[in-house]
Amino acid sequence: MSDKIKKIAILTGGGDCCGINGAIRSIVRTAIVKYHYEVVGFIGGYSGLYSDEYIPMTLKTVSGIFHQGGTILKNSNRDNLFSYRVKDENGCYVKTDVSDVAIVNLKKHEIDAIIIIGGDGTLTSARDFARKGVNVIGVPKTIDNDVPGTDITFGYRTALDHIVNALDALHTTAYSHNRVMILEVMGRNAGWLTLEGGIAGSADAILIPEIPYDIHKIAKKIIDRYNSGSQFSILCVSEGSRPVDGDVTVKKIVDGSPDTVRLGGAGEQVARALEMIVSPITGQELRSTTLGYIQRGGVTNCYDRILSTRYGSYAVDLIDKGLFGNMVAIRDNKMTYIPIEEVVGTGLIGETSLGGKHLVDPEGDLVTAAKGIGIVFGD
């Protein structure tokens, strides 16, 4: 055990997901029970680190939170302390580097190390703090399952459960009305949620970012099903999917966020395009449903409770060993770690030493199996 570590902090950033509270609970319990550390938690992501808003974390603090989605420490996905929005002397908002203020706060509270739980943007700032000498351990979290260097992130499996439940529900109404039902799901530029959710939810077509689709091939699948006696069809569509001759569907641009582009509307786009081809032939109506933030909340499932516990406990073990500047990872069902520098690189997709995002392989076993049972991807 390291004699130098006496007090650690926790911070959660980016989007919420199930399993964050499980990781917080695991970190606090491991730190107190196993290593006898003092623990504090900063509120609201990096903004709390800047404003010095924190709470003591005790065994009582984390009691009863294991099953809850979200994070008791609150999240923010807009606060980059290396480019933070503040008012200047004229009352105008400008972006400036306030990271030194955060470091002063850490030193003031005699915090020896900080565990930062988050995705791309959050871990990029974690890397930048590590470069400035802060003892940082990163814990990856996202329902998108797209963080490079680790096989799976907590929150993903619970989100999959929500998707499959939604597809099961859509099946009954699709069958009852002989309709084509489309479910749009999250995932940004990674198709994991759509692919595995679509397979488990008996989708007839799956559209993912990694495989641009030809709308006519999707239409042919629907028409062929109708002509063979299956007068309804189910499509699972990723928010980041795009046609072969087009681009992703952008819902809005959010200034000040690490990820300024907000995707949305891909399901409606597919519905409108298919309606022009399919409806004149089959007479079917098409309906699109966007599952949205339901995917990120709710009660954490068993898998993510266990996974988040493993992540959190191992993160504290790395602190005890002095292995700072690393992100906790899981590979081949074994806990390990990799330098945060290798995970985020420049912070741009495709520009990390690990080869970019953890994306679906269009030629991989999952896609091959899905095609083998008759699911089409429009390629």
Residues marked as catalytic: 144
CB atoms within 10 A of CB 243: 19
Instruction: Classify each residue of 288-305 as buried b or exposed e, where b means 16 or more C-beta atoms within 10 Å of its C-beta.
Output: bbbbeeebbbbebbebbb
Please check whether residue 359 is in contact with residue 191, taking contact to mean a CB–CB distance below 8 angstroms. Answer: yes
Exposed / middle / buried, residue 320 (Cβ in 10 Å: 0-12, 13-18, 19+): middle
CB atoms within 10 A of CB 226: 19
| C-alpha distances out from residue 282 to 1, 225, 378, Å | 70, 10, 19
Instruction: Classify each residue of 92-129 as buried b or exposed e, where b means 16 or more C-beta atoms within 10 Å of its C-beta.
Output: eeeeeebbeebbebbeeeebbbbbbbbbbbbbbbbbbb
Task: Report, in angstroms and rounded to the nearest whole number, the Rg of the chain calculated over CA atoms.
Answer: 22
The Cα–Cα gap between 44 and 326 comes to 23
Please check whether residue 46 is in contact with residue 11, taking contact to mean a CB–CB distance below 8 angstroms. Answer: yes
Comparing C-alpha atoms, which of 80, 160, 161, 71 is closest to residue 120?
A: 80
The Cα–Cα gap between 82 and 295 comes to 30
> Which residues partner with 233 through β-bridges?
180
